[in-house]
Structure 1
Amino acid sequence: MSAPEVREATTRASISTRKVRPTWPLYLLFFLVAGLVGATISFELLTDSLVALGIPNPGPVTTWGLPFFRAVGWMLAALAIGSFMFAAFYISPKVPDNDNTRLVEAPLSVDGDIAARTGAVSTLCLGLIAVLMIPLTLSDVSGTPFRKTLAIDMWGVAISQVSTALAWSVVAGIALVVGVAGLIFRKWIAQPLLFVGAILTIVPLGMEGHAAAGGAHDYGTNSYLWHLLAMAVWVGGLMALIAHGRRLGPDMEIGLRRYSNVAFFALVTMTISGLINAAVRVEWSDWFSTTYGYILVAKTVGLVLLGFLGFVHRMITIPQITTKPGLFLRFAVVEAVLMAAVTGVAITMGRTPPPPPRDPNLSQMAIQMGYDLHEKPTLANVFTMWRFDVMFGTIAILITAGYLYGVWRVYRKGGTWNHRYTAMWLLGTLSLFVTTSSGLGMNMPATYSMHMIVHMTLSMVVPLFLALGAPLTLIMRAYDTGAPGQPTAHDWALAITRAPLLKVLTHPLLNTLQFLVVFYVLYLFIPLYELAISEHAGHLAMNWAFLISGYLYFWELVGTDPAPVKRPTAIRLAWLVGSMPFHLFAGIYLMQLTTIMGEEFYQSLGLPWELNLLEDQRVGGGIGWASGSFPMGLVFLLLFIGWRREDRETETAYEKRVESGEDHDFEAYNEMLARISAGGQPRAEFEETEFRRPAEGEDPPEGPSEGPVLDLRSRRKR
């Protein structure tokens, strides 16, 4: 027996002697560690916090319960994210006939189904905790005993007056939808969407707290969101990996390798975002002289230890996963326990008063926007002002690097890539970076006209260039299809182009409606606009909506990637022409509007230059009307050129068939002329069958055996 055969036999024997073990006791351990650590630290620090805030002690139920359930809620959110991530990308589904091109039809495997069900149940449990956190939060901030805040009328007070309670109510709503959907949908194609939905459950909590207040809160909030996402993917992915190993699931090596790469990037993201967040809110001297600083130090030490354990995994346990799977699982459990403890430490920061702000004399503008503006924006100086956008500036850098890496992989495989696609993608990412990080993005919250410039760029310019960059095609070219029944990035990208949901969303009517609804709803419902511009969360939501809506619209209209249904260019051209008036009408409406949108907010900023709000709004409406014409004109030109190209290709192919004598329509016509010349009648079925063009993929009818009396091909040449 050869050495590889011996190793394989040893591995099989080792696996056969192991038993499938449930993971729920470990889940409870992780939850208890996180909750008890958070509750203990919070209880020890609560007296100082209450004194500093001037709030009465709400009692032991709130003192212990709020940090305990907050930590457990975070762990449940992480478990849901990790479980859906595993079901979507780490565990192979039951692909029909092991044909990876049919991934969109694939139901989940047994292990994938267990992971998805774990994610759904975890999300529903998170929703229940979110509901419980509403009265607990009101009790905490008001000093009211918990039993009194359980009254129904108190819930309305909590949600309307306490931002944290409102955030938890939104979490409960999202968790309910995602959890129920996770229990219903059992195909692979739903798992990436459920993964995104699980991520959305933690976003509302990232938009409130210390990071969302005070100066530079745009940096604080955006970096905190990156931090939470990385932490959830890291912690949740490890818990899902442990569960997969304990039930002896297949493809453990594949799942571990993919998780290891994700965990490395998550650690880097957590480190960078954590440093940015701490630098914004805490002076370096406060790290070792304040309670808040001590907690930061403890959390940092925990992250360093976790990074060390991750290094041990990559160097020692992962290479031995096939021969010593138990070694990895033991290390992983210890790592997960430490992660839970670090989570418990982290949630106590929300209940600990931070050190005094760096600048105690913040202007109203800095409080509202996070920074000050000192000069009126002009066409020249908006490109000399720069403030890096931690959210969209980072995304622009990441997707640029990812795209160039994909191009490098294509060339490394010996393939070729259209440079025009690369140029379009780089124009899109550059437009995104400049729009959000230059003076355009800085002045967007301050004036209506700058808001409209950024809106039109993010919804019409950036998505148009990105759609022309063919990112899904690049993924399919850069990565090979997986082994039969084991999909890879190539197969995931192909499945996206065939997704049933996208087939519905990219229907011309629905696609146009969703693109217009973002515009009309935001500006016709003035209270919604005022709410959106007055909160940083509103700015983030608007920008994401602009980008996603625009990309869906242009993907089907002119995108170079395959689409679920790629309609003829003539139809798409007619679709564009029919929808263009609706784009222009909104700008005209805004130019004639006499009500000043967001007047109270704009006046509260105290801009250092004179600004006529109504005139600025009319300028913004004109920008919306005029700037929409340019990208739509470009799209019209691209579609018209494509239409003419398709028409020429069809005509050229037809000419070639005629030249080669393969055009059976002419042969049938010549046969008809021969019959008439001989005094006979054309066949009755001639008009129905002889001149029918064969459908795509259909064999053409056989031509006549006799030569024609009149050769129409010669006339065609003349």
Structure 2
Amino acid sequence: MSWAYPRSVSAEAKPDAPDSGAASAETGTAPRRQPRRRAALGSLLLVGGLLAVAVAVGIVVLTGGLNYGVAGLTDPGDLTRYGIMAVRVGSDLSAAVCIGSLLLAAFLVPPQKSGTLDVDGYAGLRTAGTAAWVWFLFAIASVFFTAADGAGKPVTDVFDPVVLVNYVEALEQPKGWLLTAVVALLLALGCRLVLSWGWTVVLFFLSVGGLLPIAATGHSASGGAHDVATNSLLFHLVGAALWVGGLIALLAHARRRGDHLPLAASRFSTTALVCWIVLGVSGVVNALVRVAPEQLLTTDYGLVVLAKIVAIAVLGVFGHQHRKRSVRELAEGVGGGTLVRLAAVEVLVMFVTFGLATALSRTPPPREIAAQPSTVELLIGYDLDTALTPLGVFTEWRFDLVYGTAAIVLAVLYLAGVRRLRRRGDVWPVGRTVAWLSGCAMLLLATSSGLGRYSPAMFSIHMITHMTLNMLVPILLVLGGAVTLALRALPPAGRGRPPGPREWVLALVHSPIARVLTNPVVALVVFVGSFYVLYYSGLFDVALDQHWAHLAMNAHFLLAGYVFFWPIIGIDPAPRQLPPLGKLGLLLASVPFHAFFGVILMNMQTVIGEGFYRSLDLPWVDGLLDDQRVGGGIAWASGELPVLIVMIALLVQWTRSDEREAKRRDRREEATGDAELAAYNAMLKQLAQRDGSRD
């Protein structure tokens, strides 16, 4: 499970090593390299891609497609209108293959004991690299097509570099595709360089991150309720990519007659079930934002939504049943052919679903055509009619699909782990459970209550959310000891068996990334330095009107706080252990920087993010500078309670450590009969006799 970068690959780990063209006489296994099988799989992907494009174009033609006049745009011509759908399907499918292949290499098949990828993992890595190059090309093509489509010009008009740069600077979606192309290029290069399991995991999460720019700048990121639409689309894209890409990777693995096929099929079956639930829920939420229930049967957009819902439902039931059967047959040593045949049918149905999704992205929702959202709704996603009151903190809820869901899922998983321990008779401290659940509750409160609702619109409320996510929530979470709970609740893989979730958690804790982030100097600089960089460099002004930037800020607040407080008071053993005085010194070193930040805010004469806040023009905000000074006072004063909690936790931990040391000493003395004390007294007596003889 090493994260180290290997200098070379053993012949055992090289899929390009020569293999015989016939089955091994000793093992009876089929040859590993089968061009016909690879060609058949390539034909399936090509046919599926063409089918998805045909479905998308057919639906757009039958329904009238994107009425550019209704949308207030100029018709860019047939090549742009239909070409943009083709490149979108190509980008989606290549992204899914890349993500699914990395999923296979990282989690579905085990690496070698040294941490280097095995033959099957390396084959998945090479497939991901090829798919990443295709993804890169389609993303670059999408930059041209989306720029032309947004400007209402034929795509041939944007081949001029000067014209293209102007359109990219003016439009958000071409910027998103450009960022996606950068991620795909990094993946393509990384897949050629990386050979270890740990860095394959890094590439996997980078590939998932490559989906975010399009979700943040696409169809759902504009108009009213774009916060809910964007968040639901994030879940939808990730779920679809893991499901479709994982199935294609599993199908390729089965056609290669790869090792550990029952294990890979079993793990993917669990992943696919979760993805199906995520797809269904997020798809319904995203659709309801754009179309009213009564419009599902009366509008073209509603009919396409219904068709997509039916396709996902059929896929879920059919896929679950055939994977359940295949996993059972594979465990018995048969059924590989059944898995390949049924999975191929499922892939084709999935491609039809991709076509439906692409058609939806080119069809204007009824609510966007009929409604004219207010300025406030366009900027933050919803209207704010009244000022926030103390009671409104608990009554003005707007559920955050990302962080609200994360809070609930984290709480449920933690309680499931505690329940598993108690069922087998183990004890888990109640205080840790209370701390973890309190942290989840505060995360939910900060992002989904009145605080989360008003945070994008008022600097003072934003600062309350910032301090809660950066200081209070991480303190409570690190006191919960989730890693220790996971290591005790998850079963070990066992000698000679492939590593599982418990081993993955251990690898993460001991990874170079964790060691770097928990370095005291790095943790302190990230924790206190981010305050100054974010608010005094202009980044906050740029991020205010971007929903994805708010998601990224909240993630940074949580991560920076967690890696800072983990080595200080964390229950889980940190990669870098600090002595007691080092923990106290690290905590006290952050206090003056934190206080100074609040003092600067209270004394500033310019408003941070003034243009954005003035465009909101909230009537109950008396003065933007006064509201900012209130935020500075909150930043200055809010550090007192977290520091107090940390000091109390440190004192309790030190006291318990002394008690445990005293108990160990007592048990040792009971076992040895005070041998150490007797030896010490004998030494003193001997020294006294020696001194007396000298006199």
TM > 0.5: yes
> Does the CA-based 8 Å contact 1:32-1:72 persist in structure 2?
no
- State the match for 1:476 in structure 2: 487
- CA distance in 1 between partners of 2:681 and 2:133 (Å): 68
Q: Which amino acid aligns with 2:364?
A: P
| Matched residue SS, 1:342 | helix
- CA distance in 2 between partners of 1:381 and 1:140 (Å): 43
> Does the CA-based 8 Å contact 1:384-1:439 persist in structure 2?
yes
Residue from 272, 287, 292 that aligns with 1:263? 272
- CA distance in 1 between partners of 2:150 and 2:664 (Å): 75
Q: Map Cα deviations across residues 401-424 of structure 1 (whole Å, 9 max, x no partner).
A: 111111222223332222221111
- State the match for 1:679 in structure 2: 694
- State the match for 1:34 in structure 2: 52
- CA distance in 2 between partners of 1:123 and 1:368 (Å): 34
Q: Which amino acid aligns with 1:239?
A: I
- Structure 1 residues 300 and 170: CA distance shift in structure 2, 3 A: same
- CA distance in 2 between partners of 1:13 and 1:345 (Å): 46
Unaligned runs of 5+ in 2: 1-25
- CA distance in 2 between partners of 1:465 and 1:548 (Å): 13
- Structure 1 residues 675 and 176: CA distance shift in structure 2, 3 A: farther
Please report how far the alpha carbon of residue 83 of structure 1 lies from its aligned counterpart in structure 2 after TM superposition: 1.6
> Does the CA-based 8 Å contact 1:133-1:168 persist in structure 2?
yes
- CA distance in 1 between partners of 2:381 and 2:597 (Å): 31
Please report how far the alpha carbon of residue 13 of structure 1 lies from its aligned counterpart in structure 2 after TM superposition: 9.7
- Structure 1 residues 671 and 529: CA distance shift in structure 2, 3 A: same
- CA distance in 1 between partners of 2:49 and 2:528 (Å): 45
Q: Which amino acid aligns with 2:388?
A: P
> Does the CA-based 8 Å contact 2:187-2:207 persist in structure 1?
yes
Please report how far the alpha carbon of residue 485 of structure 1 lies from its aligned counterpart in structure 2 after TM superposition: 4.1
Residue from 627, 633, 651 that aligns with 2:638? 627
Of residues 619-628 and 363-372 in structure 1, the stretch that sits farther from structure 2 once superposed is 363-372
Within-5 A mapping of 1:29-108: 29-42=47-60, 49-53=67-71, 55-96=73-114, 106-108=115-117
Within-5 A mapping of 1:142-157: 142-157=151-166
Of residues 425-434 and 127-136 in structure 1, the stretch that sits farther from structure 2 once superposed is 127-136
- Structure 1 residues 48 and 71: CA distance shift in structure 2, 3 A: closer
Residue from 376, 400, 417 that aligns with 1:365? 376
Residue from 552, 575, 586 that aligns with 1:575? 586
| Matched residue SS, 1:64 | helix
Question: TM-score, structure 1 length as denominator?
Answer: 0.87
Q: Within the alignment, does 1:498 sit opposite 2:507 as a pair?
A: no
> Does the CA-based 8 Å contact 1:69-1:129 persist in structure 2?
yes
Q: Map Cα deviations across residues 293-329 of structure 1 (whole Å, 9 max, x no partner).
A: 2321221221122123123314533322331210111
Residue from 540, 546, 562 that aligns with 1:551? 562
Please report how far the alpha carbon of residue 175 of structure 1 lies from its aligned counterpart in structure 2 after TM superposition: 2.2
- CA distance in 1 between partners of 2:682 and 2:79 (Å): 91
Q: Which amino acid aligns with 1:67?
A: M
- CA distance in 2 between partners of 1:309 and 1:678 (Å): 95
- Structure 1 residues 675 and 38: CA distance shift in structure 2, 3 A: farther
- Structure 1 residues 47 and 631: CA distance shift in structure 2, 3 A: closer
- CA distance in 2 between partners of 1:139 and 1:362 (Å): 26
> Does the CA-based 8 Å contact 1:39-1:63 persist in structure 2?
no
Q: Map Cα deviations across residues 634-658 of structure 1 (whole Å, 9 max, x no partner).
A: 2133224434544565567668669
Q: Map Cα deviations across residues 600-646 of structure 1 (whole Å, 9 max, x no partner).
A: 22122232424211111011011011112221232133224434544
- State the match for 1:612 in structure 2: 623
> Does the CA-based 8 Å contact 2:142-2:174 persist in structure 1?
yes
> Does the CA-based 8 Å contact 1:213-1:367 persist in structure 2?
yes
Larger radius of gyration: 1
Identical-pair percentage: 36
Aligned residues: 659
- State the match for 1:688 in structure 2: none
- State the match for 2:244 in structure 1: 235
Of residues 557-566 and 322-331 in structure 1, the stretch that sits farther from structure 2 once superposed is 557-566
Please report how far the alpha carbon of residue 56 of structure 1 lies from its aligned counterpart in structure 2 after TM superposition: 4.5
| Matched residue SS, 1:620 | helix
> Does the CA-based 8 Å contact 2:568-2:583 persist in structure 1?
yes
- Structure 1 residues 670 and 578: CA distance shift in structure 2, 3 A: farther
Q: Which amino acid aligns with 2:174?
A: A
> Does the CA-based 8 Å contact 1:389-1:436 persist in structure 2?
yes
- CA distance in 2 between partners of 1:614 and 1:17 (Å): 72
- CA distance in 2 between partners of 1:174 and 1:563 (Å): 31
Q: Which amino acid aligns with 2:631?
A: G
Of residues 657-666 and 332-341 in structure 1, the stretch that sits farther from structure 2 once superposed is 657-666
- State the match for 1:320 in structure 2: 329
- State the match for 2:291 in structure 1: 282
- State the match for 2:204 in structure 1: 195
Q: Within the alignment, does 1:169 sit opposite 2:169 as a pair?
A: no
- CA distance in 2 between partners of 1:521 and 1:19 (Å): 53
Of residues 575-584 and 636-645 in structure 1, the stretch that sits farther from structure 2 once superposed is 636-645
- Structure 1 residues 13 and 34: CA distance shift in structure 2, 3 A: farther
Please report how far the alpha carbon of residue 450 of structure 1 lies from its aligned counterpart in structure 2 after TM superposition: 0.3
> Does the CA-based 8 Å contact 1:287-1:293 persist in structure 2?
yes
- CA distance in 1 between partners of 2:59 and 2:369 (Å): 26
- Structure 1 residues 158 and 27: CA distance shift in structure 2, 3 A: same
| Matched residue SS, 2:605 | coil
- State the match for 1:378 in structure 2: 389
Residue from 194, 208, 221 that aligns with 2:230? 221
Q: Which amino acid aligns with 1:295?
A: V
- Structure 1 residues 39 and 666: CA distance shift in structure 2, 3 A: farther
- Structure 1 residues 229 and 665: CA distance shift in structure 2, 3 A: farther
- CA distance in 2 between partners of 1:241 and 1:488 (Å): 18
Within-5 A mapping of 1:513-524: 513-524=525-536
- CA distance in 1 between partners of 2:172 and 2:241 (Å): 22
- State the match for 2:571 in structure 1: 560
- Structure 1 residues 291 and 493: CA distance shift in structure 2, 3 A: same
| Matched residue SS, 2:262 | helix
Question: TM-score, structure 2 length as denominator?
Answer: 0.89
- CA distance in 1 between partners of 2:216 and 2:263 (Å): 35
- Structure 1 residues 477 and 621: CA distance shift in structure 2, 3 A: same
Q: What's the C-alpha RMSD, in Å, of the aligned pairs?
A: 2.5
Residue from 109, 115, 122 that aligns with 2:118? 109
